[in-house]
Amino acid sequence: MTDPAHDEPERDGQPSVSDAFGAALGAAARKAGLDPAQEASTGRVVWHAIGGWRGILESVLPSLAFLVIYTIWQDLLVALAISVGLAVVFTAVRLLRRSSASAAIGGLVATAVAAALALWTGRAEDNFVWGFVTDGAYGTAFLVSALVGWPLIALAAGFLMGDVRGWRTDKRKRRAFFWITVAWAALFFARLAVQLPLYFSGNVQALGTLKLVMGLPLFAPMVAVTWLLVRALYPPKHDADTRPE
């Protein structure tokens, strides 16, 4: 059986596409505070990646408000209105403070799309459909990239560490990037495997609770593991210089 972490040599034209894609991923990672070339503790990196307290509130509060209000009053319109309203407030605060609003805007769009679908169908569980779509898309992208030999984590890390194509000639790096990318895919598919049965059974309370539990509490450790892996593959220069022969 062929090892999926090994593929054919690079074909003409392919590196240029991967370089551009890696640059985009690397720039996004750097903007999120995930630059292994920088000196920072793992805890600080993870905290920066999730956006600190503001990021936690933006990620959790709209879904939590929907869950609590719908559970107590069983009023879909009110629950959706407050959920979307909170997302609007978070986005407005970022814009007024002239801080980066991309994450808040993305959250607002996702919340609004999910709410519109739930209002259209009149089914509270449809408020979670957009999350299933994004989990499926991310999971597929991570898995396919690993299987074809161009793991997304490798493309981003390679750009950030100035090793755009060098990692492909290093068996250790290729395997490590393959498996960490598969692990990310598994995270997204695990969400679907656990939450979809609850969606089809119409169990809104359990679905909303597990969405929160399988959100940041799983995302943050995966960011930490990925950070530590990349730092292990690309140790800081001063560490490498002082390492015994």
Residues 146-156 have a mean pLDDT of 95
88 with 108: CB under 8 angstroms?
yes
Residues 232, 140, single domain; the answer is yes
Q: Confirm whether 3 is domain-assigned.
A: no
pLDDT in tens, 120-139: 999 999 999 999 999 999 99
Residues 67, 98, single domain; the answer is yes
Phi, psi of 149 (to 5 degrees): 90, 10
Cβ contacts of 194 within 8 Å, gap of 6 or more: 210, 214
Percentage of the chain exceeding pLDDT 70: 87
- How far is residue 109's CA from residue 115's CA, in Å, rounded to a whole number? 10
Residues 55, 22, single domain; the answer is no
Domains held by the chain: number: 2
Which of the listed residues 72, 104, 122 is the one where a domain comes to its end? Answer: 122
From 102-111, 178-187, 198-207, the region with the lowest mean pLDDT: 102-111
Work out the pLDDT band at 96, boundaries 50, 70, 90: confident
**CA nearest neighbour of 185 among 135, 220, 226, 230:** 135
pLDDT in tens, 173-200: 999 999 999 999 999 999 999 999 999 9
Cβ contacts of 242 within 8 Å, gap of 6 or more: none
Work out the pLDDT band at 37, boundaries 50, 70, 90: low
Residue with tokens 């062929």: 2
Which of the listed residues 97, 122, 147 is the one where a domain comes to its end? Answer: 122
Q: What is the pLDDT of residue 53?
A: 92
- For residue 57, the enclosing domain spans 50-122
Residues 201, 218, single domain; the answer is yes
Q: Is the predicted pLDDT of residue 230 greater than 80, yes or no?
A: yes
Cβ contacts of 46 within 8 Å, gap of 6 or more: 220, 223, 224, 227
Instruction: Judge residue 116's burial from the number of C-beta atoms within 10 Å of its C-beta, 0-12 exposed, 13-18 middle, 19 or more buried.
Output: middle
Report the mean per-residue pLDDT for the chain. 87
Q: For residues 134 and 45, which has the higher predicted lDDT (pLDDT)?
A: 134
Q: Confirm whether 10 is domain-assigned.
A: no
| CA distances in angstroms from 22 to 30, 154, 219, listed in the order given | 12, 8, 21
Residues 145, 170, single domain; the answer is yes
Instruction: Judge residue 127's burial from the number of C-beta atoms within 10 Å of its C-beta, 0-12 exposed, 13-18 middle, 19 or more buried.
Output: buried
DSSP state of 6: -
Residues 155, 216, single domain; the answer is yes
Which of the listed residues 122, 139, 163 is the one where a domain comes to its end? Answer: 122
pLDDT in tens, 61-89: 999 999 999 999 999 999 999 999 999 99
